[in-house]
Amino acid sequence: MTQPSDKALVPFVSVDNMMRLIHHVGIEQMMRDLAEYVEEDFKRWELFDKTPRVASHSDVGVIELMPTSDGEAYGFKYVNGHPKNTSEGLQTVTAFGLLADVYTGYPVLLTEMTILTALRTAATSAMAAKYLAPKGSTTMAMIGNGAQSEFQTLAMKAIIGLKSVRLYDNDQAATEKCARNLQGMGIEVVSCKTPEEAIEGAQILTTCTADKQYATILTDNMVGSGVHINAIGGDCPGKTELAPGILSRSDVFVEYPPQTRIEGEIQQMPEDFAVTELWEVIAGKKPGRTGERQITLFDSVGFAIEDFSALRYIRDRIKGTDYFIDLDMLADPDDPRDLFGMLQRAKP
């Protein structure tokens, strides 16, 4: 009978272990590390297998699979988006992910990705802001103060040196929660009563609301020249946050156009609406911010390569630690053709 030590075990990072790991590394350090991994993968963008995520929509939300491969490793994330969930005491977004070895096809990591997604999304936002936001940006308006908001704020602090955040949410309890969580984190926090108040003096405008509709979180007249918009919340067909007029006045940067045209803010624009792929900026092929009066817009929907980078980081980071347990999830008989024999030998 196969001994446990011979089994092909798969490291599994639970929610508890992910939280332990984040506290061990430090949340800001981990977002800097993740941004580096994402940046590395954006620089080798062309060699990845890419496909818009596979989405299953319902009236109340969406369940998606996000696969990609660099030829050596293959990763996917399972993720949902259910804006109505918070009113039922559940998360809007939950996720888990898997990394596999392309050569054997065997999984090499299974991990929670609800928290990891918040970190990778924030790290990607801050990485984009590094290239697109006005140099020396100090102040961000954070509109939508839900699950992602503290992560978005801390990544901007860790990666581009943000000093102050101005919070607004149409649910005051969310703003209070976010302000409380950010206390003592080394960033000035200003709670605002209106979105107009939140954007006062901000060089970066982050929208991160959740509503399954064409919402207008920022109207055209709210956006002055020279700002960077980090639009996170519009990430699904029929779910947007910005007035189309803003898009017409902005230089729009996206992850993967075939996916963003379906899911992003630009779903409101004609199919040939000009966008720049963010990876091209990061690889030095296209300019990012070119002028002081330019409005830059990162129309973020979240792409599989960012999850792949996060999975890669976790695989590397947990080696030699106890931040995982081994899962017996692969039937791997000593004689590969004797699956039945292995089953029979396990008969009680």
CB of 262 to ligand NAD, least distance (A): 13
Contact yes or no for 172/149 (Cβ under 8 A): no
- Give the active site residue among 235, 316, 328, 335: 235
Please give the DSSP secondary-structure letter assigned to residue 294.
P
The Cα–Cα gap between 332 and 45 comes to: 34
Backbone phi and psi for residue 111, each to the nearest 5 degrees, phi listed first = -150, 150
Structure-block tokens of residue 19: 């939280």
Q: Which residues contact 139 (CB under 8 A, 6 or more apart)?
A: 162, 163, 164, 165, 166, 201, 202, 203, 204
Closer CB to ligand NAD, 194 or 225, in the complex? 194
Which residue of the chain is nearest ligand NAD when measured via CB? 146
CB of 173 to ligand NAD, least distance (A): 8
Q: Which residues bind ligand NAD (CB under 6 A)?
A: 81, 86, 92-93, 117, 121, 143-148, 169-171, 174, 208-211, 215, 217, 232-233, 235, 300-302
Closer CB to ligand NAD, 3 or 213, in the complex? 213
Q: Specify the residue for token string 């053709």.
A: 337
Catalytic-residue membership of 169: no
Q: Which residues contact 341 (CB under 8 A, 6 or more apart)?
A: 333, 335
Closer CB to ligand NAD, 210 or 305, in the complex? 210
Give me the torsion for CA of 153, 117, 239, 194, rounded to 10°: -20
CB of 215 to ligand NAD, least distance (A): 5
CB of 267 to ligand NAD, least distance (A): 14
Closer CB to ligand NAD, 155 or 174, in the complex? 174
- What is the set of active-site residues? 235
